[in-house]
C-alpha cells in the first residue's frame, strides 16, 4: 500500500524530473532569443542544430515511460488530489495532459509536420512576394491534410470538431462552438458600430502620427514608460527585433523586444506597452514553482489579454495621455509645434478599416481575426476547399470591413500562421481582447479611481490586481473558468463593445 509519505516522495521525484526537463526548455528559449536579437547571420546553421538537439532531448526525457509511472502514482494519491486546485494537484493534472498529447502523435507525423512547416514557410514567402496564391496552394493542401490527420490523432469531444483538437495547443479547453458563440454577436455589433463610426461627423486628430522622432530618443522614452507601468528591468530586458516578441526561460529572466520607425512613435510605444503586458504576466508567475505548470501561463488568449490591457485599456486611454502628453512635449517639444492633448490622444485612436491585420486599429482588429477563424474552421471541417480561400477571403473582407482586397499578397497571403501549420491560433488574439475588456471592467469595479491613478502616473495598483487575480494562479484554471471565477460571468462580447463604444463614440461624434 502506498502511504502519503511515499507518494509525496513520488511527487518530488516527478517534479525534480520536470524541473530538469525545463532547464533544457529554458536554455532553448535563450538561444532562440539570441537568434532574433544578437546572433550574427553566420550562426544560423549551427543554431538550428543546437535548437533541434535540445528539442529532441526534451521530447525524449518528457515522454520517458518513467514519467508516466510517476504520474500514475501521483494520480492514485487521494491526499495529493484532495484539493484539485492545489499546486501539486494542478501540476499533476497539467503534466498528464501534456504527456497524453505528446505521446498521441506518431513520430512520422511529427517529422512530416516539421518538414511541411519549413517547406510551407518557404513556399508562402515566395507566393507572397509574387502575390500568387496558386504557388502556395499545393503545399497548403498538404498542410491541411496533415492537420486533419493530426486532429484525428488527438481526438475531440463528442459534438466537437477537428478545430478543437488543434486549438488545444494554444487555448486549452477552447472549442470552435465556444468561439463562434462569442464571436457571432461581436461581429454583428462591431459591423454596425463601424458603419456608424465611419459616417460620424468628427474624426480624431492624426497629426502626432506624422511627426518624425529620432529612434535613439524614442528608445529612451519607451524605457521610461516601460519602467513607469511596472515592467521589472531587474528581471527583464527590452531590446529591438524585426518582429516584436516576448520570451524568457523563467519568471526572473524575461526578454521583450520592440521595433522603431522614425515616423512611427505611436506604433513603437503601443508595441512596447503590448510586450510589457506579456512580460509583466510572465514576471508575475509564482517564482516558487519555476519549471512546473504552476509557474506557466494559462493560454495564448489570456496572455494576449495582459498585453492588450497595457496597450489598449491603459496606453490608449485619455487618462494615460493626460500623464504622457506633457512628458512627450518635454522630451520632443521642439519637433511638435503645439501638439495638444487632443492631438496626442486622437492620434493613438484613429480607426481605419483596411485589409492588413497587423496594421489594424483597436476597433477593426477583431474583424480580421474573425475572417480567419471562420475560414480555418470551414477548411478543417472539409466545407471549404483550399483553392476557394482567396475568393472567400475577399468576400468576407468586403462584407465585414467594406474593403476591396487588391491582391492575394495583401489578402489571404499576408499572415505566416497557416504556412507554419498553425490552425486554431488566430482566435486567441480576439479572445485576448475580449478577456481583457471583461477583466478591466472588473478591475474598475474593484478600483473605481483607476483612471485618476493613470492620470497621476500611478499604475502599480492595476499591476498588483493583475498579479493577484490572474498571474498568481498560473495554470490553476482554464481560461473560461478564470473569467467566471474573476468576473462572475462567462466570457461575452458585451464588455469589449461597451469599451469600444465609450471610447470611439465621443472621438467620432456619435
Sites of contact with Zn ion (CB under 5 A): 307
Q: Which is nearer to Zn ion, 280 or 339 (CB)?
A: 280
Beta-bridge partners for 247: 255
Q: Which is nearer to Zn ion, 258 or 307 (CB)?
A: 307
The least CB distance from residue 363 to Zn ion, in Å, is 18
Which residue number places its CB atom closest to Zn ion?
Answer: 307
* Active-site residue, from 171, 275, 311, 376: 275
Contact 264, 221 (CB under 8 A): no
* String of DSSP letters for 167-201: HTTTSTT--HHHHHHHHHHHHHHHHHHHHHHHT-S
Contact 113, 146 (CB under 8 A): yes
The least CB distance from residue 3 to Zn ion, in Å, is 47
Structural element, H or E, at residue 455: helix 450-455
Cα–chain-centroid distance for residue 226? 19
Q: Which is nearer to Zn ion, 18 or 482 (CB)?
A: 482
The least CB distance from residue 59 to Zn ion, in Å, is 26
Contact 251, 287 (CB under 8 A): yes
* String of DSSP letters for 284-341: TS-GGGTTSGGGS-S-HHHHHHHHHIIIIIITTSHHHHHHHHHHHHHHHHHHHSS--H
Residue 205, C-beta contacts closer than 8 angstroms, at least 6 positions apart: 340, 342, 343, 346, 347
Q: Which is nearer to Zn ion, 244 or 346 (CB)?
A: 244
Q: Which is nearer to Zn ion, 307 or 430 (CB)?
A: 307
**Residue 288 known to be catalytic:** no
The least CB distance from residue 426 to Zn ion, in Å, is 12
As a whole number of angstroms, the distance between CA 180 and CA 311 comes to 25
The least CB distance from residue 435 to Zn ion, in Å, is 13
The least CB distance from residue 302 to Zn ion, in Å, is 11
Q: Which is nearer to Zn ion, 7 or 258 (CB)?
A: 258
Contact 457, 502 (CB under 8 A): no
| C-alpha triplet 148, 111, 122: angle, nearest 5° | 80
Q: Kindly state the greatest CA–CA separation across the chain.
A: 80
C-alpha dist (Å) from residue 446 to 20, 183, 326, 440, 460 = 40, 27, 29, 10, 14
Which positions are catalytic? 275
Amino acid at each position: 500500500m502506498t502511504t502519503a509519505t511515499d507518494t509525496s516522495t513520488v511527487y518530488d521525484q516527478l517534479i525534480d524530473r520536470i524541473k530538469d526537463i525545463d532547464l533544457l526548455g529554458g536554455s532553448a528559449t535563450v538561444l532562440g532569443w539570441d537568434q532574433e536579437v544578437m546572433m550574427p547571420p553566420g550562426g544560423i546553421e549551427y543554431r538550428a542544430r543546437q535548437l533541434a538537439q535540445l528539442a529532441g532531448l526534451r521530447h525524449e526525457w518528457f515522454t520517458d515511460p518513467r514519467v508516466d509511472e510517476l504520474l500514475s502514482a501521483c494520480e492514485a494519491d487521494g491526499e495529493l488530489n484532495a484539493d484539485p486546485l492545489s499546486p501539486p494537484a494542478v501540476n499533476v493534472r497539467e503534466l498528464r495532459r501534456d504527456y497524453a498529447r505528446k505521446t498521441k502523435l506518431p513520430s512520422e507525423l511529427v517529422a512530416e509536420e516539421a518538414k511541411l512547416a519549413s517547406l510551407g514557410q518557404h513556399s508562402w514567402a515566395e507566393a507572397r512576394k509574387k502575390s500568387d496564391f496558386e504557388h502556395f496552394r499545393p503545399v497548403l493542401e498538404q498542410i491541411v491534410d496533415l492537420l486533419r490527420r493530426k486532429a484525428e490523432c488527438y481526438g475531440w469531444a463528442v459534438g466537437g470538431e477537428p478545430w478543437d483538437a488543434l486549438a488545444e495547443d494554444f487555448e486549452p479547453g477552447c472549442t470552435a462552438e465556444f468561439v463562434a458563440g462569442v464571436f457571432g454577436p461581436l461581429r454583428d455589433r462591431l459591423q454596425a458600430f463601424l458603419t456608424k463610426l465611419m459616417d460620424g461627423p468628427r474624426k480624431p486628430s492624426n497629426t502626432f502620427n506624422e511627426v518624425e522622432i529620432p529612434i535613439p530618443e524614442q528608445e529612451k522614452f519607451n524605457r521610461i514608460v516601460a519602467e513607469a507601468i511596472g515592467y521589472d528591468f531587474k528581471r527583464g530586458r527590452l531590446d529591438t527585433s524585426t518582429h516584436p516578441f516576448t520570451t524568457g526561460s523563467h519568471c526572473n529572466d524575461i526578454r521583450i523586444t520592440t521595433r522603431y520607425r522614425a515616423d512611427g512613435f505611436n506604433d513603437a510605444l503601443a508595441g512596447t506597452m503590448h510586450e510589457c503586458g506579456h512580460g509583466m504576466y510572465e514576471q508575475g508567475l509564482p517564482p516558487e514553482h519555476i519549471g512546473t505548470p504552476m509557474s506557466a501561463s494559462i493560454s495564448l488568449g489570456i496572455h494576449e489579454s495582459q498585453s492588450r490591457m497595457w496597450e489598449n485599456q491603459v496606453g490608449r486611454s485619455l487618462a494615460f495621455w493626460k500623464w504622457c502628453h506633457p512628458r512627450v512635449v518635454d522630451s520632443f517639444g521642439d519637433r511638435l509645434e503645439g501638439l495638444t492633448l487632443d492631438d496626442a490622444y486622437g492620434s493613438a485612436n484613429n480607426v481605419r478599416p483596411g485589409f492588413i491585420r497587423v496594421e489594424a486599429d483597436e476597433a477593426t482588429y477583431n474583424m480580421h481575426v474573425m475572417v480567419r477563424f471562420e475560414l480555418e474552421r470551414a477548411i478543417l471541417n472539409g466545407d471549404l476547399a483550399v483553392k476557394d480561400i482567396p475568393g472567400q477571403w475577399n468576400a468576407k473582407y468586403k462584407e465585414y470591413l467594406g474593403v476591396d482586397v487588391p491582391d492575394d499578397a495583401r489578402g489571404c497571403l499576408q499572415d505566416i500562421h497557416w504556412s507554419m501549420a498553425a490552425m486554431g491560433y488566430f482566435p486567441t488574439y480576439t479572445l485576448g481582447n475580449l478577456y481583457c475588456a471583461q477583466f478591466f471592467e472588473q478591475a474598475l469595479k474593484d478600483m473605481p479611481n483607476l483612471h485618476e491613478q493613470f492620470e497621476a502616473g500611478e499604475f502599480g495598483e492595476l499591476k498588483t490586481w493583475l498579479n493577484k487575480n490572474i498571474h498568481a494562479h498560473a495554470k490553476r484554471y482554464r481560461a473560461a473558468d478564470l473569467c467566471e471565477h474573476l468576473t462572475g460571468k462567462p466570457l461575452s462580447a458585451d464588455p469589449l463593445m461597451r469599451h469600444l463604444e465609450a471610447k470611439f463614440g465621443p472621438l467620432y461624434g456619435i
